[in-house]
Chain A
Amino acid sequence: MNKFEDRVRITGIGLSEIGRRLDRDPVGLAVDACLAAIADAGLQRTEIDGLSSHPGPLTLDGYSGAGVQDVLGVLNLAPRWFNSGHEFAGHIGALVQAALAVAAGLARHVLVYRCTWESTAQLRQREAPGLAIADDYQWLIPTGAFSPANWIGALATRHMHRYGTTREQLGAIALNARANAERNPRAIYRQPLTMDEYLSARMISTPFGLYDCDVPCDGAVALVVSAADAARDTRRPNAIHVEAVGTQSTQRWSWDNADLDQLPIIRGAAHSMWSRTDLKPRDVDVAEIYDGFTFNCLSWIEALGFCAEGEGGPFVEGGRRIALDGELPVNTHGGQLSAGRLQGFSFLYEACVQLWGEAGDRQVPGAPKVAVTTSGGGAPGGAILFRLD
Chain B
Amino acid sequence: MVRPHPAVTKENAFFWTAGAEGVLRFKRCTECALYVHPPQPRCPRCLSEAIEISEVSGKAIVATYTVNHHQWHPELPPPYAIAIVEIAEAPYVRLTARIVNCAVEDVVIGMPVTVLFEQVGPAWIPMFQPEGC
Contacts and interface: CB of A to CB of B under 8 A. Distances in A.
Interface of A: 128-134, 136, 138-147, 149-151, 153-158, 161, 202-208, 254-257, 260
A205 B94 contact: no
B38 A129 contact: no
Of A136, A143, A157, A257, which is in contact with the most chain B CB atoms at under 10 Å from its CB? A143
User: Sorted from nearest, which 8 A-B pairs have the closest CB atoms?
Assistant: A153-B66, A158-B64, A146-B72, A134-B7, A138-B6, A132-B7, A203-B69, A206-B67
B121 A131 contact: yes
Contact of A143 (B12, B63, B65, B82): B82
Given A144-B82, A260-B84, A136 B38 contact: yes
B70 A205 contact: yes
B1 interface: yes
A136 B3 CA distance: 17
B4 A157 contact: no
A143 B66 contact: no
Contacts of B2: 128, 131
A253 B62 CA distance: 21
Contacts of B38: 136, 139, 254, 257
Contacts of B67: 203, 205-206
A146 B72 CA distance: 7
Nearest to A258: B94
Contacts of B97: 143
Given A144-B72, A207-B66, A257-B94, 11 more contacts: A131-B121, A132-B121, A133-B6, A153-B68, A204-B68, A208-B66, A254-B38, A256-B94, A256-B95, A256-B96, A260-B64
B102 interface: no
A157 B64 CA distance: 6
Nearest to A206: B67
A157 B109 contact: yes
